[in-house]
Amino acid sequence: MELIYKLSELEKASNFVLKNVNHDIILITGEVGTGKTTLIKEYCKLIGVEETVNSPTYTLINEYQNKRGKIVHMDLYRVKDINEINELGLFEYLENNIIIIEWPEIILKMIDIKYSMINITFINEKERKLSINNI
């Protein structure tokens, strides 16, 4: 499933994600600056998160709440070693939570549960392509 959207159409892109993601584990890939965190902020607002959603680039994990429960937002960009993943307790979060992981490449071979993969591609300064695969 794919959607081309303008940066001014984040709500449209978030609704597309909501309608097409089939799993509570959401992995998001894309080059630096394509808008992964920006999309996540809009998506979290759409699913009822009232708190301010920030990039977890330095904290690695941010947690939010909605009516359904906990949303765990992770950014693995700075994680260089698989042992750091275990120290973070990443796999303990995978049950009974909505998990959104930016830069998941380091853990892809380790995930043996169903997840939705979102890729954001830079088209130009104002447009992006969003691809979703449910795996």
What is the pLDDT at residue 5? 98
pTM of the predicted structure, to 2 decimals: 0.93
Q: Which domains does the chain have, with CATH numbers?
A: 2-134 (3.40.50.300)
DSSP letters for the chain: -EEEEEGGGHHHHHHHHHHH--SSEEEEEE-TTS-HHHHHHHHHHHTT--SPP---TTTSEEEEE-SS-EEEEEE-TT--SHHHHHHHTHHHHTSSSEEEEESGGGGGGG--S--EEEEEEEEETTEEEEEEEE-
Q: Return averaged pLDDT per consecutive 10 residues of the chain, 135 residues in all.
A: 97 98 97 95 96 90 93 92 81 84 92 94 97 97
